Structure 1
């Protein structure tokens, strides 16, 4: 039995006339008769009565008509779903992110993607950079936003955000009255630092920044989330060096000041696994790369 047989059967069941059915199917009458005979042989039952009074569905034919209609509808739905999945228009997308991405464009990326692909269900998971890399390698995430571009060969990475580091101080700290600070001014301060386990790159980058200014940071607390860093600083538990975007967190009690004389940038990369095939992920990555590129160009024009 083939889907062609079912289509021919359903048209004949509507027309109850071999000539009219053949014209609708754009074939001649003999092939139609042959296909109906093949279908009846395959089913093992007579589906039509044919005599001088015309063509009629048998009881078996009437029952088979319902099943044939459902089968063809399911087949069409399956074809449509396959086309939509191939186009990346339906399905599920699992996206990991570091907390600072909430202030670095992630909400806008999601709004734009969901507007363009309403059939894609996006599931977010907040993890540190290393956890996201592991999740990508184990196919537990489809795309991720992390703090490093150094990733295993199985992954691809593209830079989507770059900005300066700033100093985060308690609002009542004496240095908060300054409009700009050299990092060396913090040499005697207790630091709240992003955990080395959570992001080795960030940890070493801040250490290297301090070392270039002739000191090593006195670490009082290590935490796993950027907002925890800012929260502890806001409560007078130390100072921190954080990405500039965190100044938009609106955390009461924290002050953010530009750092003078440091060219080190805070970067975020979009990362994904090159296999297996995932059209929805590819559409998401393409959109993020395009929007990140536009943002970079706009920033360059403003600075110029």
Structure 2
């Protein structure tokens, strides 16, 4: 390319910080490899042959591709490019997770983010099976082979129909729900996620009757609003609670629900590391 652009071996050699004889030898070797004369030279001038014109364009294209490949490899190494398969528990979307995803899209526009919504237990199973790269979950059970980092916590609230006798209060005691049927999510969501809110009832000497099950908090809230029971939920559900529902803080010792970032132990891919670091930053800013 240097000789073809300069059409002068001396100037090309100076541009490349080479002596002229080694440059001439390299050109001859290149012509031998190609099997055609690329440059026509005499004592007065250098000019490209037809084969040289064709090869010059291909050489430029090759170097462009090399530069693009180097840039792509750099981005992959920095965690800014690739495919990130991220599972998340549905209720996490009511927290700072949308802001995290927005920030990640801005920080790594070339990364392909494949999102999968499910229960915490299914996100964990997907990680262990290799179907997911990372997860944002709620109150995950410990699992060998996985690393879990708590990003932030939130309290639980009582979810009551607006006509419930306790709905007019500023807060309430869990024991006031002793005789109410519960609308709740299934145990398949995860053992800890299922049992932890119910432990608040156990601390007051009762275990509620689960009258209805639903897999989405929006459905649970609507069923509560329809008078089918009450529930205990993470405080974030207030964002989607209809007018037919009241969410009240709980009195007594506070038990908090954890939103966690989970990945396989020993995960070394820059793409996952970069997302984990950003998740930590966004969570810290939300405190």
Q: TM-score, normalised by structure 2?
A: 0.93
1:1-304 → structure 2 map (5 Å cutoff): 10-275=1-266, 277-296=268-287
Distance in 2 of aligned mates of 1:151 and 1:72: 50
- How many residue pairs get matched? 287
- Unpaired runs of 5+ residues, structure 2, are none
Residues 149 and 158 in structure 1, CA contact (< 8 A), matched pair in contact too: no
Distance in 2 of aligned mates of 1:276 and 1:160: 18
Deviation of 1:275 after TM superposition, in Å, equals 5.0
Residues 160 and 225 in structure 2, CA contact (< 8 A), matched pair in contact too: yes
- Unpaired runs of 5+ residues, structure 1, are 1-9, 297-304
**What's the secondary structure of 1:270's corresponding residue?**
strand
Distance in 2 of aligned mates of 1:274 and 1:69: 44
**What's the secondary structure of 2:167's corresponding residue?**
helix
User: Which one is further off, 192-201 or 115-124?
Assistant: 115-124
Distance in 2 of aligned mates of 1:262 and 1:224: 28
Q: Summarize the Cα distance change of 1:203–1:250 in structure 2 as closer, same or farther, 3 Å threshold.
A: closer
CA RMSD of aligned residues (A): 1.7
Q: TM-score, normalised by structure 1?
A: 0.88
Distance in 1 of aligned mates of 2:112 and 2:241: 30
